[in-house]
């Protein structure tokens, strides 16, 4: 997909570096915690906080399919803003989908209700990969416009951009649809590594450009989301996946650093590969609900990377299943998550995956209030 971007600075009016206090996100609780500082209040946001759990989302989306709603800038912006207004969370997460870069590149893909992403044709041979179209800079304009609209409304509340990690994106492409065991991509890694690496590199560049477009347009942080990396062994991850995740993050690496855009790397079932995920280039590691935060911190601290980094700020990890439990059970769990997260250099509270669509929005609002009442 061509050379990596050469720009080394955020736009002058970017929320992280603007001198306008009404729009600056640099000292917000979220960015402060992501950078390992002590925030003014304990920051919290939820993956999938925008979406099916909100009646206002369902009303807005009525009659509009998923991909279309992501590509209508005004609608995507409004959906992104809804949970910030309702819950007082400390960040908005850009409303989109990991297959949007495929759609914008010209790949035949749709999101089928009740199934998920489905491709018109699976990508399984070298010829299939070679025939993939290139994602152009111009095609990303609807994404930039949606981000600009959102940031204009958020003020000093940060927007988090996101993209699917190359393994998860490529896994959908190989299978042609969602899969429980991801046998197709796991087999391709070993049976045809050249084709696998070409496909994963394509996915990395598509996701990297997608993420960069969001950040340049005003997102104050970025998250690489690897839904299916937990299906991999550590050795397979290191050889066949980590280099491609690093490639995706390299598209925005020049915009990160100590005073730049924090980058979060999150995956589900990834407790055994957290240090490898950190070493792909993230400055924050997201932890799912399966592993206590203090144990995640210990594993990262005990396994420093080649650059000497060990423990990093963490994000997570309330168990989504407990959102429907009695309040006293949920409250005790939230307090425990906050306490175990204190061992890390910084901690942003989140779920250990996404908001279930059956969640009562009032519960999320109450959880946010509880977290904000605790010592940061």
237 labelled catalytic: no
Query: What is the rounded average pLDDT of the residues 165-185?
Result: 94
- Among 34, 172, 237, 289, the active-site one is 172
360 labelled catalytic: no
Task: Please check the confidence at residue 223 and state whether its pLDDT lies above 90.
Answer: yes
Where residue 8 falls among pLDDT bands split at 50, 70, 90? low
Where residue 2 falls among pLDDT bands split at 50, 70, 90? very low
Task: Please check the confidence at residue 20 and state whether its pLDDT lies above 50.
Answer: yes
Residues in CB range of 9: below 8 A, 6 or more apart: 255
97 labelled catalytic: yes
Q: In this structure, are residues 222 and 252 in contact, taking their beta carbons and an 8 Å threshold?
A: yes
Residue with token string 């600056």: 24
pLDDT in tens, 303-328: 999 999 999 999 999 999 999 999 99
- Among 23, 61, 144, 309, the active-site one is 61
Q: Look over the chain and give the mean of its residue pLDDT values, rounded to a whole number.
A: 95
52 labelled catalytic: yes
State phi, psi for 251 to the nearest 5 degrees.
-65, -20
- Among 97, 205, 226, 279, the active-site one is 97
In DSSP notation, 152-204 reads: HHHTTSPEEEEEE-HHHHHHHHHHSS--SS-HHHHHHHHH-HHHHHHHHHHHH
Whole-structure pTM value:
0.96
- Among 23, 52, 290, 309, the active-site one is 52
Domains parsed from the chain with CATH numbers = 32-289 (3.20.20.210)
Query: What is the rounded average pLDDT of the residues 279-301?
Result: 97
CA distance 247 to 166: 9
Query: What is the rounded average pLDDT of the residues 366-375?
Result: 98
Task: Please check the confidence at residue 290 and state whether its pLDDT lies above 90.
Answer: yes
pLDDT in tens, 230-262: 999 999 999 999 999 999 999 999 998 777 999
172 labelled catalytic: yes
- Among 48, 209, 278, 299, the active-site one is 48
What is residue 5's predicted lDDT score, i.e. its pLDDT?
42
221, β-bridge pairs: 160
Q: Is 323 exposed, middle or buried (0-12, 13-18, 19+ CB in 10 A)?
A: buried
């Amino acid at each position: 997909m061509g050379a990596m971007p050469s720009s080394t600075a955020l736009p002058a009016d970017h929320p992280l570096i603007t001198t306008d206090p009404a729009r600056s996100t640099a000292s917000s609780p979220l960015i402060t915690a992501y950078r390992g500082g002590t925030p003014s209040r304990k920051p919290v946001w939820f993956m999938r906080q925008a979406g099916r759990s909100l009646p206002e989302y369902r009303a807005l989306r009525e009659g509009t399919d998923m991909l279309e709603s992501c590509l209508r800038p005004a609608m995507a912006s409004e959906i992104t803003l809804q949970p910030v207004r309702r819950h007082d969370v400390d960040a908005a997460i850009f409303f989109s989908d990991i297959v949007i870069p495929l759609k914008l590149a010209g790949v035949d893909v749709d999101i089928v209700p009740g199934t998920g992403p489905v491709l018109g044709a699976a990508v399984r041979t070298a010829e299939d990969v070679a025939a993939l179209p290139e994602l152009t800079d111009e095609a990303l304009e609807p994404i930039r416009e949606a981000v600009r609209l959102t940031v204009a409304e958020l003020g000093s509340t940060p927007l988090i951009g996101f993209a699917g990690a190359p393994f998860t994106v490529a896994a959908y492409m190989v299978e042609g649809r969602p899969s429980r065991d991801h046998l197709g991509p796991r087999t391709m890694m070993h049976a045809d590594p050249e084709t696998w690496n070409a496909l994963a590199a394509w996915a990395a560049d598509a996701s990297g450009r997608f993420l960069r477009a969001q950040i340049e347009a005003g997102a104050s942080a970025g998250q690489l989301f690897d839904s299916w990396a937990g299906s991999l062994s550590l050795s397979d991850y290191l050889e066949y996946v980590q280099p491609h995740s690093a490639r995706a993050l390299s598209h925005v690496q020049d915009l990160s650093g100590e005073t730049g855009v924090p980058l979060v790397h999150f995956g589900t079932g990834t407790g055994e590969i957290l240090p490898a995920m950190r070493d792909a280039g993230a400055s924050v590691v997201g932890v799912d609900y399966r592993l206590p935060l203090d144990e995640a911190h210990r594993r990262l601290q005990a396994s420093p990377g080649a650059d000497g980094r060990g423990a990093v700020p963490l994000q997570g990890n309330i168990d989504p299943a407990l959102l429907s439990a009695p309040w006293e059970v949920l409250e005790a769990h939230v307090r425990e998550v906050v306490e175990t997260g204190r061992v890390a250099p910084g901690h942003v509270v989140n779920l250990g995956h996404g908001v279930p669509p059956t969640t009562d929005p009032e519960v999320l609002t109450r959880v946010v209030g509880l977290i904000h009442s605790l010592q940061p």
